[in-house]
A and B are shown apart, each in its own frame.
Chain A
Amino acid sequence: MSFSLAHALTGLFWLGALLLLGGLARRASLWQQGRSASVSWLGLLAMPKRYFVDIHHVVAREPAVARAHVAAAGGGVAILLLSALNYGLMLYQGWLDVLLVLMAVVMLLGARMMQARRLQAPPRLSQGRWQVLPARLRLFALGSLLAAGLLFAGPQLGLAGQLIAVVALLMLALGGAELALGIGLGWPMKHAVAGLLHLAFHPRVERFAGKSSDLKPLNLAAGELGVAKVEDFAWNRLLSFDACVQCGKCEAACPAYAAGQPLNPKKLIQDMVAAQSRGTDPAYAGNPHPGREATVVVKPGEDIVGSVLAAETLWSCTTCRACVENCPMLIEHVDTVVNLRRHVTLSRGEVPGKGSEALANLRNTDTVGGYPLAVRYHWAIDLDLPLLQPGEHTEWLLLAGEGAFDMRYQRALRALVKVLKAAGVNVAVLGAAERDCGDVARRLGDEAGFQRLAQANIATLAQYRFAHIVTPDPHVFHCLANEYPALGGQFDVWHHSKLLEHLLARRAIPLKADATPLPPLTFHDPCYLGRYNDGFNAPRNVLKGIGIKVVDMQRSGRDARCCGWGGGAAFTDIPGQRRIPDMRMDDIRETGTGRVAVACPNCTAMLEGVVGERADVIELAELVVERLA
């Protein structure tokens, strides 16, 4: 009896393996629709490290789910490996059956935990096939347990044993179908295969070696104009969409979704899956883009934007990277949004709201707001701020950015210059030679405009001699530090928070001696300083250095909510139920401090633009200048 059950298991194993391979081939043919991408096969070797280290960093933020996944997936993989040995290779060793029983118990426990979570599933989780997955996994684990147990202790059981064997095989077949057919039919277990391959062939492979948040330049000369159709994605992007587990962490973190704007990052990725699979996968069973239908109609051959995806969805994104930060499958949502925007902007020229006006201003005046370049440093007229001449040397070059045209932010800039002067820092500015860094152009998809500005700035900066660049604008900072190198501009760029921290640590800033305790305040992390560049500590150290206690908001640091400006969202201004800065102001009110420190001209404008009673918005440098001796 045990002999025939063992052979049945061998048959079942190989049948499952064949179905899985067939499914993978089918899925791979979908990925092959995409463009070629330069990937290294060595990625397959790096996969275990990326799985156990990089993914674990994200998953471990939710320990209960992490434990459940370790048990279910670990047990499942162990069962499959042991089965491959014992039954696939027909070793039929009793001690392997003992191990199988143990692993089946582990998997059973994991699946049980997942099922318990599904009983009170948070709304961000997708329903449908995902809801029944834990039960299917339990079935598989139980089948494995019974079969292996039976083979170990079988001969004594007789007729009962045969009955149990039939039941076990049925369970294995039903549960195993979920594993074997997932990748081919787009069922939930697709994520295991696609997810592992995604780790091996990740489109942003440098993120495993350190921070990587820069957008990649388009080769405009080669006619690259962003993504219009599925075929314009690189094949490993298409693969990355299939890795999605629809956990909805992106949805829960997305400020646009919370504001009721028509963007749900999870749905966006699933829209891409629907587009590449031409709607053959099971229907999406999660939350839709707010205010939109959940169903999509895929029209093969048509552009993605306008058929599968509404343009408003695309333009709601603030590129705050909260989704990317939270994605346990390391999917790069922002890259996808910008790639699609590039097509809409570069090919169609359809930028909504004031976005097209901002881009026209950048083309015509090199400023977002359409200001004359000559007035950028008018606020510094009485500050004796040297204008750097070509050939002259300065230690620090200050780039004020677009905030220099905003009368409110000019107060912060004046404070910064006064602090730097008091600290004896050798600082100068470019005056009318400074152009916009191109951040808004790039996030709005105008890659041509960005590259023009970046190359012009790089050529300008090459004429001057300076050791470091300092800027109070995280967007300027990010562009120069992370995105100009790809275009040949290598600069040592500091955000002013880091310079102030450095000066305070060296006691270079003369502070008032009297230690009158200052009231605590809260700090709003700018996305492009925090999540984009891990600049979480410097501004907090500055506040600590001048004796102010920071009461962090519930969503701060890595989880900070965007102010709503980024990605040109303040210009495209897609309507929603609420405004993102209003929600952020609610977060600030919750701390009860009544004051918020900011470190970005755009956060300043967005938070000060909140109507009604609101907290005081104070720039970092303004707080330091108050403490100057």
Chain B
Amino acid sequence: MKIAVLIAPAVHPVSGRPCAGEADLAALALAQRLSSQVDVWYAGAADDAALADYLARGATHIHTLALAAGREVLSPLAEALQDYALVLCGARAGGGDGSGLLPYQLAEQLGRALLPDVLDLSKSDQQWQALQALPKGVRRTLAAKLPLVASVHARAASAVGWSYARLQQGKIQRKAATGAALPQVVLEPARRARALVAASKVSGHARMQGAIAGGEGKSAGIVVKQGDSVEKAQVVLDYLRQHQLVDF
């Protein structure tokens, strides 16, 4: 099965240099786990050097839809991706001016289901099941039929390590494309954030005591003082399993 992966250069938070985005790398890795036929697509104005990290991290061939700066990428991408039953992309680009809306707009334009914030994908009886990442470590399973678009969460397993040889062997194929002008961005002052109000006024030490001391409070935890290190570790492991924070 042919899978399309969408990538875009991220902006490094310290140096501002273009680099690979974590979510896009995770999308690439997931696609490579699912199929040996993975086409990597990029639409935008970035030069080849900005995409180099993706070549080094395992994208052997990148199809670039070269657009002038300030042009929207949605319609050229939608046109190029029509024939792919499965389209994967990062949940959002790494840094920069990204709105995070592209996966939604793309799914809408292609008329397909979107599985957002996916950690893993697997196929069972004509259905594709996705493990979705929700805040605070919560996971849930979604299912959809092909064709579909899935946006991959940045915490999903990342692509292979950076390799100079892959960078040298990788190829970027540029194709000129046209897109409509992006709507004018309107900047407005941020609304004043609501001041945080502490739920209780007791000290941090007292709250820690409340959390670990046991007894009446419903948030009371368990304090394990007996037993050897293995038994204590077992208690921690049981807790993590109970809250689905580990899956082994």
Answer yes or no: are A and B bound together in one complex: yes
Contacts of B125-175 to chain A: CB distance below 8 A: 160-166
Contact between B17 and A349, CB atoms less than 8 A apart: no
A-B contact pairs, 16 of them (CB 8 A): A220-B164, A345-B164, A346-B164, A347-B164, A349-B161, A350-B161, A360-B19, A364-B14, A364-B19, A365-B14, A365-B15, A366-B15, A372-B14, A373-B15, A447-B164, A448-B164
Q: In the complex, which residues of chain A have a beta carbon less than 8 angstroms from the beta carbon of B56?
A: 349
List residues 343-399 of chain A with CB under 8 A from any CB of chain B.
Answer: 345-351, 356, 359-360, 363-366, 370-373
CB–CB B12/A356 < 8 A: no
Q: Is there contact, CB below 8 Å, between A346 and B165?
A: yes
The docked-state distance in angstroms from the alpha carbon of A198 to that of B102 is 63
Q: Judge whether A364 and B162 touch: CB under 8 Å.
A: no
The answer to whether A372 touches B165, judged by C-beta atoms less than 8 angstroms apart, is no
Which A residues are closer than 8 A to B by beta carbons? 220, 225, 345-351, 356, 359-360, 363-366, 370-373, 446-448
Q: Which residues of A contact B161 (CB under 8 A)?
A: 348-351, 356
Chain A CB within 10 A, most for which of B12, B15, B163, B164: B164
Inter-chain contacts of B57 with A (CB < 8 A)? 349
In the complex, chain A residues whose CB is within 8 Å of the CB of B53: 363
Residues A365 and B12 in contact, CB atoms below 8 Å apart: yes
Check if A349 sits within 8 Å of B14, measured CB to CB. no
Q: In the complex the two chains form, is B165's CB within 8 Å of A363's CB?
A: no
A371 to chain B, nearest CB (A): 7
**A371 in contact with B14 given A349-B160, A364-B19 (CB within 8 Å):** yes
User: A347 touching B12 by the CB < 8 A rule?
Assistant: no
Q: Which residues of B contact A446 (CB under 8 A)?
A: 164
Are the C-beta atoms of A225 and B164 separated by less than 8 Å?
A: yes
Q: CB < 8 Å: which of A220, A347, A364 contacts B15?
A: A364
DSSP majority for the A interface?
Answer: helix
Distance to closest chain A CB from B243 (angstroms)? 28
Assembled-state Cα–Cα distance A360/B161 (Å): 10
Is A372 a contact partner of B15 (Cβ separation < 8 A)?
A: yes
Asked whether, in the complex, the Cβ of A225 is within 8 Å of the Cβ of B165, the reply is: yes
Among residues 12 to 41 in chain B, which have CB atoms less than 8 Å away from a CB atom of chain A?
12, 14-15, 17, 19
Which residue from chain B places its CB closest to the CB of A361 in the assembled complex? B14
Give complex CA distance A370, B14 in Å.
7
Task: List chain B residues, Cβ under 8 A from A372.
Answer: 14-15
Give every chain B residue within 8 A of A360 (Cβ-Cβ): 19, 162
Contacts of B162 in A (CB 8 A): 349, 356, 359-360, 363
> How far does the alpha carbon of A447 sit from the alpha carbon of B164 in the complex, in Å?
9
Distance in angstroms between the alpha carbons of A345 and B161 in the assembled complex:
9
A347 to chain B: closest residue by CB: B165
Q: Which 7 A-B pairs rank lowest in CB-CB distance, beginning with the nearest? A: A349-B163, A349-B161, A448-B164, A347-B165, A346-B164, A365-B15, A364-B12
List B contacts of A373 (CB < 8 A). Answer: 15
Min distance, Cβ A6 to any Cβ of chain B, angstroms: 63
In the complex the two chains form, is B15's CB within 8 Å of A346's CB? no
Which B residues are in CB contact (< 8 Å) with A220?
A: 164
Q: Write out the residue numbers on chain A whose beta carbons fall within 8 Å of the beta carbon of B160.
A: 349
Give, as a whole number of angstroms, the nearest-CB distance from A441 to chain B: 11
Contact of A349 among B15, B19, B166 (CB under 8 A): B166
Q: How far is the CB of A227 from chain B (nearest CB, A)?
A: 13
Q: Which B residues lie within 8 Å of A356 (CB)?
A: 161-162
Name the residue of chain B whose CB is nearest to the CB of A364.
Answer: B12
B19 touches A348 (CB 8 A): no
- Interchain CA distance A373-B15 in the complex, whole Å: 8
The residue on A at minimum CB distance from B166 is A349
Given contacts A346-B165, A364-B19, 4 further A-B contacts (CB under 8 A): A220-B164, A347-B163, A365-B17, A366-B15
CA distance A349 to B29 in the complex (A): 15
List residues of B (48-81) whose CB comes within 8 Å of A's CBs. 53, 56-57
* Chain A residue with Cβ nearest B165: A347
Tell me, in angstroms, the Cα distance from A370 to B56 when the chains sit together: 19
Chain A residues within an 8 Å CB radius of B166: 349
Question: Of all chain B residues, which has the CB nearest A370?
Answer: B14
Q: Which residues of B contact A370 (CB under 8 A)?
A: 14
Please report the C-alpha to C-alpha distance between residue A352 and residue B14 in the assembled complex, in whole angstroms: 23
By beta carbon, the residue of chain B nearest A366 is: B15
Report the minimal beta-carbon distance from B96 to chain A, rounded to whole angstroms.
15
Q: Which residues of A contact B163 (CB under 8 A)?
A: 345-349
CA distance A367 to B12 in the complex (A): 13
- Residues from chain B with a CB closer than 8 A to the CB of A363 are 19, 53, 162
Interface residues in B211-245 by Cβ distance below 8 A to A read: none
Shortest C-beta distance, B165 to chain A (Å), equals 4
Complexed CA–CA distance, A448 and B162 (Å): 12
A351 to B163, CA, bound (A): 10
Give the CA-CA distance A365 to B18 in the complex, in Å: 11
Give min CB distance, A180 to chain B, whole Å: 45
CB distance from B181 to the nearest CB of A (A): 32
Question: CA A360 – CA B57 in complex, angstroms?
Answer: 11
Q: For residue B17, which residues in chain A have a CB less than 8 angstroms away from its CB? A: 364-365
- Specify the chain B residue showing the minimal Cβ separation from A346: B164
Which residues of chain B are near A347, meaning CB under 8 Å? Answer: 163-165
CA distance A373 to B17 in the complex (A): 13
* Cβ contacts under 8 Å, B19 to chain A: 360, 363-364
* Complex: A210 Cα to B26 Cα, angstroms: 51
Contacts of B165 in A (CB 8 A): 225, 346-347
Rounded to whole angstroms, the CA-CA distance of A220 and B164 in the bound complex is 10
User: Which residues of chain A are near B15, meaning CB under 8 Å?
Assistant: 364-366, 372-373
State the CA gap A366–B161 with chains docked (Å): 19
Q: In the complex, which residues of chain A have a beta carbon less than 8 angstroms from the beta carbon of B14?
A: 364-365, 370-372
CA gap between A366 and B53 in the complex, in Å: 15
Contacting residues, chain B, for A350 (C-beta < 8 A): 161
B18 to chain A, nearest CB (A): 9
Bound: A447/B162 CA distance, A: 13
Nearest chain A residue, comparing its CB with the CB of B12: A364
**How many Å lie between the Cα of A351 and that of B161 in the bound state?**
8
A350 to B160, CA, bound (A): 8
Q: Which residues of B contact A349 (CB under 8 A)?
A: 56-57, 160-164, 166
What distance in Å separates the Cβ of B117 from its nearest Cβ neighbour in chain A? 24
Residues of chain B within 8 A of A225, CB atoms compared: 164-165
Say how far A434's CB is from chain B's closest CB, in angstroms: 14
Q: Which of chain B's residues have a CB closer than 8 A to the CB of A359?
A: 162
Distance to closest chain A CB from B101 (angstroms): 27
Q: Which residue of B lies closest to A356 (CB)?
A: B161
Q: How far is the CB of A505 from chain B (nearest CB, A)?
A: 42
Chain B residues with CB below 8 A from A364, complex form = 12, 14-15, 17, 19
In the bound complex, what is the Cα–Cα distance between A348 and B167 (angstroms)?
11
A605 nearest CB across to chain B (Å): 21
Q: Which residues of A contact B12 (CB under 8 A)?
A: 364-365
Q: How far is the CB of B54 from chain A (nearest CB, A)?
A: 13
Least CB distance, A17 to chain B, in whole angstroms = 47
Chain A residues, Cβ within 8 Å of B164: 220, 225, 345-347, 349, 446-448
When distances are taken between beta carbons in the complex, the residues of chain B under 8 Å from A366 are 15
- In the bound complex, CA of A447 to CA of B12 (Å): 23
CB distance from A365 to the nearest CB of B (A): 5
Q: How far is the CB of A224 from chain B (nearest CB, A)?
A: 11
